């Protein structure tokens, strides 16, 4: 009986499938762009998101966005006494600044710049030490429009997007600081 060697158009797809199966079986995962807590920490507790901005519900919205981001990165959210890390954040301000923005003279365009600032603290529950204590973080988002005033939808969208951006900054700061 003669053995036939796989060549031609089936050679590379067959090896590709074997390669994927081989790495899948050993538990290999690509973790590029994934948030990883320091020193083997796998869980976190969102202790307190305080709102000193005088804009209602920003603390709840930010907490929801942070929880979503942490869950997307396979980080467990636990009770204070069970968590490896404890995160607290104070929203200090969210401002909107309107300025004229025009690329040409044919139409008047405005830019609405949303800025959010706050203070981040991260405590390692295992070592009983602060990794970040009252660290200033912020983010911004802009909307460009021909409207002289923002609609309530655009204003809510701008706030939501700047909080999305802030949750990214906080998540990256968790990784960068360690």
Residues 36-82: pLDDT tens digits? 787 788 899 999 999 999 899 999 999 999 999 999 888 899 999 99
Output the CA–CA distances (angstroms, integers) from residue 165 to 93, 102, 107, 124, 137, in the order listed.
15, 25, 29, 25, 11
Q: At residue 108, does pLDDT exceed 60?
A: yes
Could you tell me the pLDDT band of residue 30, with boundaries at 50, 70 and 90? very low
Q: What is the mean pLDDT of residues 99-114?
A: 83
pLDDT over 70 at 114, yes or no: yes
Say if residues 81 and 123 touch (Cβ distance below 8 Å).
no
What does 61-87 look like in DSSP terms, one character per residue? HHHHHHHHHHHHTT-EE--GGG-SEEE
- Ordered by where they begin, the domains of the chain are 36-176 (3.30.160.150)
Query: Could you tell me which residues come within 8 angstroms of residue 151 by beta carbon, excluding any fewer than 6 positions away?
Result: none
Instruction: Tell me the mean pLDDT in the region 99-103.
Output: 79
Cβ contact 57:75 at 8 Å: no
Of 8-12, 35-39, 107-111, 166-170, the poorest mean pLDDT is in 8-12
How long a stretch of residues is the chain? 178
Looking at residue 178, what is its pLDDT? 43
Rounded Cα distance between 172 and 178, Å, is 10
Name which residue leads in pLDDT, 38 or 156: 156
Mean pLDDT of 29-39: 62
**Chain Cα centroid distance, residue 147:** 30
Q: Which residue has the tokens 């405590």?
A: 123
């Amino acid at each position: 009986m003669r053995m036939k060697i796989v060549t031609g158009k089936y050679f590379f797809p067959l090896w590709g499938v074997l390669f994927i199966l081989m790495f899948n079986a050993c538990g290999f995962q690509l973790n590029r762009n994934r948030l990883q807590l320091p020193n083997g920490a796998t869980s976190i507790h969102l202790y307190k998101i305080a709102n000193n901005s005088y804009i209602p519900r920003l603390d709840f919205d930010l907490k929801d966005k942070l929880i979503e981001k942490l869950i997307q990165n396979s980080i467990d959210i636990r009770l204070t006494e069970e968590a490896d890390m404890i995160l607290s954040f104070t929203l200090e301000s969210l401002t909107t600044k309107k300025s004229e923005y025009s690329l040409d003279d044919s139409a008047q365009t405005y830019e609405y710049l949303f800025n959010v600032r706050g203070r981040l603290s991260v405590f390692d529950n295992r070592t009983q030490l602060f990794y970040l204590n009252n660290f200033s973080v912020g983010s911004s988002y802009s909307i460009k429009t021909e409207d002289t005033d923002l609609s309530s939808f655009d204003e809510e969208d701008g706030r939501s997007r700047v909080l999305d951006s802030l949750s990214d900054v906080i998540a990256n700061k968790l990784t960068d600081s360690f």
